[in-house]
Amino acid sequence: MIRLIRGFRDILPEHTGLWALVEGVARELLENFGFSEIRLPVLEHTELFARGIGADTDIVEKEMYTFTDRNGDLLTLRPEATAGVVRSYVEHGFCASAPVQKLYTMGPMFRRERPQRGRYRQFYQINAEVLGVQSPLADAQLLVLVHEFFSRLGVTDAAVHVNSLGCPNCRNPYKEELKSYLAAKSGRLCQNCLRRKETNPLRVLDCKSEQCAEAVAGAPSMTDWLCDACRDHFAAVLSAAESQGVALVLDPRLVRGLDYYTRTTFEVRTSALGAQNAVAGGGRYDGLVQLLGGPPRPGIGFAVGVDRLVEILAAQKGYPQKCPDVYFACLGDAAKKAGFSLAAGLARAGVAAEMDFDGAGLKGQMKRAGKSGARFVVILGEDELAGQKAQVRNLKTKEQTEQPMEGLVESLARRVKEEKDNG
């Protein structure tokens, strides 16, 4: 038997209903908030991610699936979506022709991380990006959208953590201050952070190791160092989001390590996930469009981790069971043919209908009908065909009636609708 690759998994039919529900809610909300879908390839030139994510990040250093194509091109399976969205924005000339773009995309991302619960090597994200808008209302709108998304799905303990990373003007002096703070704590930092405190000191702030968390407990906060413009921007983001009932947790330890990340940064966390507690993350990247070869254009976006979100929802409410509305139990070839045609007619009329193709005995077929969770079972045998009638049994009430074959599709469709309307 050939098995799955480690860290990869199949999303099985009994689970895909919940995935589709999550994606459907996201799609509807994003469209209502004025976003348009963009679909991008999963394979890009490696250079895009090396530049767009940053060469000295874990993702680019250790986690990318990269290979040389037959023509010598160096290609990578996308580890995230933003770089691809920005590449497309620049490549199609939107920077000049229509610089304000609100885009979303959904699909698989690939990172060769150490697999564990909530962490896979192929995982799925829903991404939203706003390009060409500097206004704090764009940041606030994303926060409102994210908040609405989680509450609509019934995730009650999602906390939106938010911080501002300022701009290079105010962040550089802050970094120097942070470096000298960290220099005094050298003895208490992990190996990784001993290196990072020089190259990427912000990253030390969100190191997961306990000793580093203790060491940075009294570190200076970026928000105390914001320049006037960044402070005003952040205040406007918070007040606009809060005016819409979004509860925010101000979190000075929330950072992103790269220079093109600016101002607002946020993360949605839930207690339901254990170690991998982040279910969505986002922020401003005002330097990225330029870094990827475009003119200076601001941008902000977020990514929701669908695998983790589905896991939370499944733990809360289980996976919704998919049941046909009508199940056909047919005895004999002629009845099977009639059932086949009725089931197709119902499916065309928007009613989920299923039939037992091979079932021989009535007992076995009725058992399967019951197991399928169908509301109605239609029984067709020789007698029924001769009389042009069918037995229709309501599996909930156990009530069974005889119905003429003529107009059966319409009458069943009506009854299914009535049952659904009555819950």
Q: Could you list the residues that contact ligand AMP (CB under 6 A)?
A: 80, 111, 113, 118-120, 123, 125, 278-281, 303, 305, 307-308
User: Of 111 and 175, which CB lies nearer to ligand AMP in the complex structure?
Assistant: 111
Partners of 44 in beta bridges: 76
Q: At its nearest, how many Å lie between ligand AMP and the CB of residue 120?
A: 4
d(CA 45, CA 235): 38
Nearest Cα residue to 265 out of 132, 389, 167: 167
Give the Cβ contact number of residue 252 at 10 Å: 15
Q: At its nearest, how many Å lie between ligand AMP and the CB of residue 163?
A: 14
User: Of 59 and 291, which CB lies nearer to ligand AMP in the complex structure?
Assistant: 59
Residues 6+ apart with CB under 8 A from 376: 325, 326, 327, 392, 393, 394, 395, 412, 415, 416
The DSSP output letter for 119 is: B
Q: At its nearest, how many Å lie between ligand AMP and the CB of residue 200?
A: 16
d(CA 215, CA 183): 11
CB 225 within 8 A of CB 177: yes
User: Of 111 and 263, which CB lies nearer to ligand AMP in the complex structure?
Assistant: 111
CA distances from 290 to 89, 284, 285 (A): 11, 14, 10
User: Of 84 and 118, which CB lies nearer to ligand AMP in the complex structure?
Assistant: 118
- Could you please report the per-residue DSSP string of 321-335? PP--SEEEEE-SHHH
Q: At its nearest, how many Å lie between ligand AMP and the CB of residue 110?
A: 9
Closest-CB residue for ligand AMP?
A: 305
Q: At its nearest, how many Å lie between ligand AMP and the CB of residue 111?
A: 5
User: Of 312 and 351, which CB lies nearer to ligand AMP in the complex structure?
Assistant: 312
User: Of 117 and 363, which CB lies nearer to ligand AMP in the complex structure?
Assistant: 117
Report CA 114 to chain centroid distance, whole Å.
20
User: Of 279 and 408, which CB lies nearer to ligand AMP in the complex structure?
Assistant: 279
d(CA 119, CA 111): 9
Q: At its nearest, how many Å lie between ligand AMP and the CB of residue 42?
A: 15
Q: At its nearest, how many Å lie between ligand AMP and the CB of residue 169?
A: 25
* 117 token code pair: 């619960």
Q: At its nearest, how many Å lie between ligand AMP and the CB of residue 151?
A: 17
User: Of 84 and 324, which CB lies nearer to ligand AMP in the complex structure?
Assistant: 84
Angle in degrees, CA 392, 395, 397, rounded to 5: 100
User: Of 312 and 369, which CB lies nearer to ligand AMP in the complex structure?
Assistant: 312
Burial of 233 (0-12, 13-18, 19+ CB in 10 A): buried
Q: At its nearest, how many Å lie between ligand AMP and the CB of residue 262?
A: 16
Helix (H, G, I), strand (E, B) or coil at 103: strand
| Cα atoms in the 13 Å half-sphere on the side-chain side of 172 | 3
